[in-house]
């Protein structure tokens, strides 16, 4: 095909496909997005918002927003209700005939055909068709979206979640962990407790996959709120007369079986390749692995095809979005369309991860600067380990890092920054003398490992993916070399496509696994002959089990390092709830930040293993290649009006305003997210945008009517999908962000005669600009508390893009 206008075929209009399409559109590449259903968004589009008082970072709402953006993007042609009829591949490209008859010539294809939820009917013992109260996670989403739960269940239902339905099952040929269902169920449990505070919830799990910052905080919040029970019942009996759902479980208290009755059982179904995907792959001449995915060496997509998202392997929404972007960058690279103006990248942080990141970006042709200590630095990396950073200014493409080196102050200019400091390693194990670090154990030749070793996981600190994998790999190798190895754990994290197989193989090889419920159930004593670990084993209630060990192997526990807060201060970017870098905001996860061009990678911001880190670096480079996830806007400062008060400079949540050489504030459009916080805050009304000015917004109010100011990436999108439309007396005005709101504006709207003013935007924690919900809530509260203000006349009501039913209720409830 012609080099000048390559066209890309994307199969699948779910999160990964949309993300790839949008990323390519930033570079004006023509995209054909082929989707077999009648709407974009994939599975995520039918999921409910999980927000409680705060966003739970599931990412489902993003799918609505992406679908909306695609509709507005001219370079993307969407083919709904369409499949590929035939496809011919040649060196010049591919010719695809669509089911509608149209022929497309494409240079490359991205396969993002996604997944299907496992069909629970395939496990007959659940009797999922015997009662409408046995639902899958997908069906629960519908019940939540449609606000039908309390009608169905009353105020204080007993609800059970059953994990691993259709996953981690070797007999069924699905010996993989679907990776997301534990997280999904934890979120669901929180959401249900939010909707029905008296709900009594039990979550039955095999190994709770508490991976990543979102899951960690969910697990923490749930402790004490719901019952977390190890061991998953495999049979449900629906009682004809009472409608109750009965399951038998082991009762550790009485050491016997007991039956438990529930009002709702949620089957946490895993991910399987979509129906008919085999046929699709045949048409495309691609061969997936026996599971139907493209995540192992046995799968072969072919050279002109990139696979992304859940078609590759089960993953969450944010992971799928990230892979879509990476796929787009991969395609650009294959077509030699990469941007050659490789900007310098500064990597901040000590430790092996930062050094590895610097090495990778340098190998990709980016000048790379390492502010941190690393061993054996690859050539081409500028070693700035001796530098002390003093300040970081500028915006994407043009950062300046002011630093002191050997007593000399100087500035480094670079285009992008990757923050990757190493976490602290905790010496918790002090309390027990003579332990071996897991990292060292894993480095020993298996034959030289101690004869009778116990690897203790999750005890001195939370288990990480990397430690779990290291433990499994090393234990199996030692076992294969004839050693006795026991892994004592609370749960086994089976991360990644082959995590479950690795765990299965280790057990088959004879590595012994013991499970404890709570660290308090484990006692360690050491003597001259080694250690004795005495424990209450979860599967053997009522007994104490003693295990002797010559060596006790323990992974290093990690904790937030002071460097995190230091960098957070320098970069003007917040920390998460555990003091690690990067708040869990889905708008910027996985690797981006509220500031364009500043990224996070490695364990400073998440539970990251080597595979993840590799993806993170690819994602960062992809973001630099294809531009930011979201588009900047048309906001500028009218110098004539500007009073140089620098309010805008201070309030800009994205660090997009710099002081230019005349010491005037100036908006750098590449870094601007067009949130218009500056517009609403500028006391001189000097900041102009293509949108409405403050007064104009207030003027949208009309006498006797309700004015709804709705954030364009949440509430306004929800408004667009309200099924029977909004009440007649509503004026809906789309605003760029809840932070666009000011007390002033609300008052003006009231003066203009609005009967009610509703501000609706993202849930707290979901705002792309961070503080929008807080700003809106505060502005509303100030007005609402004015003397004489009737209750309910002004209100702040968050609603996500996927909450049309909620939004409709907000505007219709007087």
Given the rule CB under 6 A, which of 57-65, 85-93, 131-139, 336-344 is the region that contacts ligand SF4? 57-65
For other proteins, give the closer residue by CB, 231 or 704. 231
Given the rule CB under 6 A, which of 11-19, 78-86, 162-170, 515-523 is the region that contacts ligand SF4? 162-170
Neighbours of 787 (CB within 10 A): 4
Burial of residue 449 (CB within 10 Å: 0-12, 13-18, 19+) is: buried
> Could you say whether residue 160 binds other proteins (CB under 8 A)?
no
Burial of residue 494 (CB within 10 Å: 0-12, 13-18, 19+) is: buried
> Could you say whether residue 539 binds other proteins (CB under 8 A)?
yes
Instruction: Determine which helix (DSSP H) or strand (DSSP E) holds 298, and give its type and residue range.
Output: none
CA-only gyration radius of the chain, Å: 28
Considering only residues 67, 70, 112, 182, which one is a binding residue for ligand SF4 as defined by CB under 6 A? 182
Given the rule CB under 6 A, which of 23-31, 94-102, 673-681, 775-783 is the region that contacts ligand SF4? 673-681
For ligand SF4, give the closer residue by CB, 369 or 649. 649
Q: How far apart are CA 799 and CA 747, in angstroms?
A: 22
Give me the residues paired with residue 760 across strands.
Answer: 710
CB of 491 to ligand SF4, least distance (A): 9
Distance set, CA 759 to CA 18, 651, 682, 713, 793 (Å) = 29, 20, 20, 13, 11
Q: How far apart are CA 442 and CA 719, in angstroms?
A: 55
Distance set, CA 779 to CA 97, 545, 683, 702, 775 (Å) = 55, 60, 16, 20, 6
For ligand SF4, give the closer residue by CB, 206 or 477. 206
Among residues 806, 692, 701, 693, the alpha carbon closest in space to that of 747 is found at 701
Given the rule CB under 6 A, which of 106-114, 541-549, 594-602, 670-678 is the region that contacts ligand SF4? 670-678
> Could you say whether residue 119 binds other proteins (CB under 8 A)?
no
> Could you say whether residue 540 binds other proteins (CB under 8 A)?
yes
> Could you say whether residue 674 binds ligand SF4 (CB under 6 A)?
yes
> Could you say whether residue 536 binds ligand SF4 (CB under 6 A)?
no
> Could you say whether residue 507 binds other proteins (CB under 8 A)?
yes
> Could you say whether residue 766 binds ligand SF4 (CB under 6 A)?
yes
CB of 314 to other proteins, least distance (A): 17
CB of 770 to ligand SF4, least distance (A): 11
Largest Cα span, the chain? 86
Considering only residues 378, 432, 547, 560, which one is a binding residue for other proteins as defined by CB under 8 A? 547
Return the SS3 of 627.
coil
Considering only residues 270, 421, 450, 497, which one is a binding residue for ligand SF4 as defined by CB under 6 A? 270
Sequence-ordered strand ranges (E) for 339-405: 345-348, 368-371, 381-383, 388-395, 398-405
> Could you say whether residue 678 binds ligand SF4 (CB under 6 A)?
yes
CB of 108 to other proteins, least distance (A): 39
- Tell me, residue by residue from 421 to 450, as one string, x for binding to other proteins by CB under 8 A and - for no binding: ------------------------------
800 binds, among ligand SF4, other proteins, none (CB under 5 to 8 A by kind): ligand SF4
Query: What stretches of 264-387 show up as alpha helix (H) in DSSP?
Result: 277-284, 317-334, 352-363
Return the SS3 of 196.
coil
Distance set, CA 313 to CA 270, 271, 749 (Å) = 12, 9, 50
CB of 56 to ligand SF4, least distance (A): 4
Considering only residues 234, 643, 751, 781, which one is a binding residue for other proteins as defined by CB under 8 A? 234
Given the rule CB under 6 A, which of 1-9, 74-82, 465-473, 648-656 is the region that contacts ligand SF4? 648-656
Q: How far apart are CA 20 and CA 747, in angstroms?
A: 43
Q: 282-288, long-range: CB within 8 Å, 24+ apart, which pairs?
A: 283/84, 283/85, 283/86, 283/87, 284/11, 284/84, 284/87, 284/109, 284/111, 285/87, 285/89, 286/111
Contacts (CB under 8 A) with other proteins, residues 246-285: 247-250, 255-259
Q: How far apart are CA 138 and CA 784, in angstroms?
A: 39
Given the rule CB under 6 A, which of 49-57, 102-110, 118-126, 617-625 is the region that contacts ligand SF4? 49-57
Q: Is the dihedral of CA 219, 536, 504, 425 positive or negative?
A: positive
Considering only residues 515, 605, 705, 768, which one is a binding residue for other proteins as defined by CB under 8 A? 515
Distance set, CA 320 to CA 308, 509, 623 (Å) = 7, 34, 14
Q: Say if residues 392 and 399 touch (Cβ distance below 8 Å).
A: yes
Given the rule CB under 8 A, which of 387-395, 420-428, 544-552, 762-770 is the region that contacts other proteins? 544-552
Q: ∠616-618-622 over CA atoms, to 5°?
A: 115
Given the rule CB under 6 A, which of 354-362, 419-427, 668-676, 726-734 is the region that contacts ligand SF4? 668-676
Q: How far apart are CA 571 and CA 565, in angstroms?
A: 10
> Could you say whether residue 199 binds ligand SF4 (CB under 6 A)?
no
Contacts (CB under 8 A) with other proteins, residues 465-484: 484
Residues lying near other proteins in the complex (CB under 8 A)? 123-125, 127, 164, 168-172, 204, 206, 230-235, 240, 247-250, 255-259, 484, 486, 504, 507-508, 510, 512-515, 534, 537-540, 542-548
**Could you list the residues that contact ligand SF4 (CB under 6 A)?**
49-51, 55-61, 163-164, 167-168, 177-182, 206-207, 209, 268, 270, 586, 635, 652, 654, 656-657, 667, 672-678, 763, 766, 800, 802
């Amino acid at each position: 095909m012609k080099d000048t206008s390559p066209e890309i075929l994307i199969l699948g209009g779910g999160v990964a496909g949309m993300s790839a399409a949008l990323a390519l559109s930033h570079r004006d590449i023509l995209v054909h997005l082929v989707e077999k259903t009648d709407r974009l968004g994939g599975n995520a589009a039918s999921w409910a918002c999980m927000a409680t008082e705060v966003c739970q970072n599931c990412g489902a709402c993003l799918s609505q927003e992406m679908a909306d953006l695609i509709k507005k993007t001219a370079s993307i042609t969407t083919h709904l209700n369409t499949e590929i009829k035939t496809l011919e591949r040649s060196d010049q490209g591919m010719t695809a005939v669509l089911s509608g008859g149209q022929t497309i010539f494409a240079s490359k294809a991205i396969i993002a055909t996604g997944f299907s939820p496992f069909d629970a009917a395939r496990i007959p013992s659940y009797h999922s068709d015997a009662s409408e109260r046995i639902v899958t996670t997908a069906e629960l989403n519908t019940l939540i979206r449609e606000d039908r739960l309390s009608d169905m269940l009353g105020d204080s239902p007993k609800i059970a979640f059953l994990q691993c339905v259709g996953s981690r099952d070797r007999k069924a040929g699905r010996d993989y962990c679907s990776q997301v269902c534990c997280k999904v169920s934890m979120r669901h449990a929180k959401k249900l407790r939010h909707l029905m505070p008296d709900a009594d919830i039990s979550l039955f799990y095999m190994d709770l996959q508490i991976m990543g910052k979102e899951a960690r905080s969910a697990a923490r919040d749930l402790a004490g709120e719901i019952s977390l029970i190890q061991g998953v019942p495999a049979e449900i009996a629906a009682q004809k007369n009472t409608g109750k759902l009965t399951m038998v479980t082991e009762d550790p208290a009485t050491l016997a079986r007991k039956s438990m009755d529930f009002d709702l059982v949620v089957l946490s179904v895993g991910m399987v390749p979509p129906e008919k995907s085999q046929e699709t792959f045949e048409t495309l001449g691609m061969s997936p692995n026996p599971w139907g995915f493209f995540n192992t060496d046995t799968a072969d997509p072919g050279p002109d095809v990139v696979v992304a998202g859940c078609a590759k392997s089960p993953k969450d929404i944010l992971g799928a979005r990230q892979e879509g972007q990476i796929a787009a960058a991969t395609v650009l690279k294959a077509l030699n369309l990469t941007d050659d103006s490789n900007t310098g990248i500064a990597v901040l942080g000590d430790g092996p991860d930062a050094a590895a990141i610097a090495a990778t970006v340098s190998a990709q042709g980016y000048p790379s600067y390492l502010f941190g200590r690393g061993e054996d630095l690859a050539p081409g990396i500028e070693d700035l380990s001796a530098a002390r950073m003093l300040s970081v200014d500028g915006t994407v493409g043009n950062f300046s890092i002011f630093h002191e080196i050997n007593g000399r102050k100087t500035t480094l200019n670079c285009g992008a920054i990757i923050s990757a400091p190493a976490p602290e390693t905790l010496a918790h194990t002090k309390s027990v003398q003579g332990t071996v670090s897991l990292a060292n154990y894993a480095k020993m030749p298996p034959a030289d490992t101690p004869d009778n070793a116990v690897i203790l996981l999750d005890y001195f600190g939370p288990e990480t993916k990397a430690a779990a994998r290291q433990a499994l790999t090393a234990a199996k190798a030692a076992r294969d070399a004839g050693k006795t190895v026991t892994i004592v754990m609370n749960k086994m994290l089976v991360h990644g496509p082959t995590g479950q197989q690795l765990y299965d193989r280790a057990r088959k090889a004879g590595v012994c696994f013991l499970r404890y419920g709570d660290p308090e159930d484990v006692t360690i004593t050491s003597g001259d002959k080694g250690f004795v670990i005495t424990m209450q084993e979860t599967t053997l209630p009522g007994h104490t089990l003693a295990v002797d060990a010559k060596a006790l192997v323990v992974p290093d526990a990690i904790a937030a390092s002071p460097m995190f807060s230091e960098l957070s201060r320098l970069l003007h970017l917040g920390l998460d709830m555990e003091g690690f870098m990067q708040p869990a905001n889905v708008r910027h996860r996985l690797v981006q930040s509220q500031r364009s061009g500043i990224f996070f990678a490695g364990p400073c911001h998440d539970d990251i293993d080597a595979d993840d880190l590799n993806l993170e670096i690819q994602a960062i480079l992809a973001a630099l290649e294809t531009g930011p996830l979201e588009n900047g806007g048309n906001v500028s400062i009218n110098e004539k009006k500007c009073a140089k008060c620098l309010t805008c400079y201070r309030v800009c949540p994205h660090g997009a305003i710099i002081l230019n050489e005349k010491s005037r504030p100036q908006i750098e459009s590449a870094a601007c997210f067009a949130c218009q916080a500056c517009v609403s805050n500028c006391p001189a009304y000097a900041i102009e945008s293509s949108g409405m000015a403050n007064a104009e917004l207030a003027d949208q109010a009309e006498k006797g009517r309700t004015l709804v100011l709705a954030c364009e990436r949440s509430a306004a999108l929800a408004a667009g999908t309200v099924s029977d439309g909004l009440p007649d007396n509503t004026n809906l005005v789309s605003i760029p962000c809840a932070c666009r709101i000011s007390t002033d504006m609300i008052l003006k709207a009231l003066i203009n005669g609005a009967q009610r003013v509703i501000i609706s935007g993202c849930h707290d924690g979901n705002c792309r600009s961070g503080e929008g919900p807080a700003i809106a809530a505060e502005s509303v509260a100030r007005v609402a508390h004015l003397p004489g203000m009737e209750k309910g006349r002004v209100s702040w009501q968050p609603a996500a893009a996927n909450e049309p039913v909620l939004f409709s209720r907000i505007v219709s409830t007087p």
